Amino acid sequence: MSQWPLDRAGAERWFAVEFNNEAWALVEVGVLPGDKLERLLHLAHAACLHWSHVGTAIHRQRALDLLAHAYAAGGMGEIALKYAESAWQLSLQNAEGQTAFDRAEALSTMAIALRAVGRNGDADSWKQKAIAEMSRLDADDRAVIERLMSAAAARLPSTRAD
């Protein structure tokens, strides 16, 4: 087996960041054609894989949030909810190590995933919690989460019964 030619941790971190950023950019687009959706899912899983090698628990939480958003974007609500619930559990465990942005994002991700499975009442409750947490954020961070929620709303019907 040949010698790895790069600093492995540095390469893992580079790929994690690049795949993460590209995937989040696609999440914010709204409705995606099939090829872009497939790319989003691959990028989200790749980012999660690379973060698992070099990241912290908060990176894992963020990667699970991204996976939840990606699957919600693809109309795969049950899988989105599974990832959102895992991210929320990490949010509870990471309470001291996360930022207000991470907490608000985890709450909004739960709202989006619940809406993706048609649990609108629960989704509304989580969204209200996210909005309350977002009041602690600066305008730029608040705008990021608002864009994510708007993109999800453009994809997900809001009139399904619970």
Contact 126, 108 (CB under 8 A): yes
**Chain segment 30-44, per-residue pLDDT in tens:** 788 889 999 999 999
- The model's pTM is 0.91
Q: Which domains does the chain have, with CATH numbers?
A: 8-155 (1.25.40.10)
**Chain segment 106-120, per-residue pLDDT in tens:** 999 999 999 999 999
Contact 27, 37 (CB under 8 A): no
Helix 100-116 × helix 120-134 angle, to 10°: 160
pLDDT number for residue 162: 42
Q: What is the DSSP letter of 2?
A: P
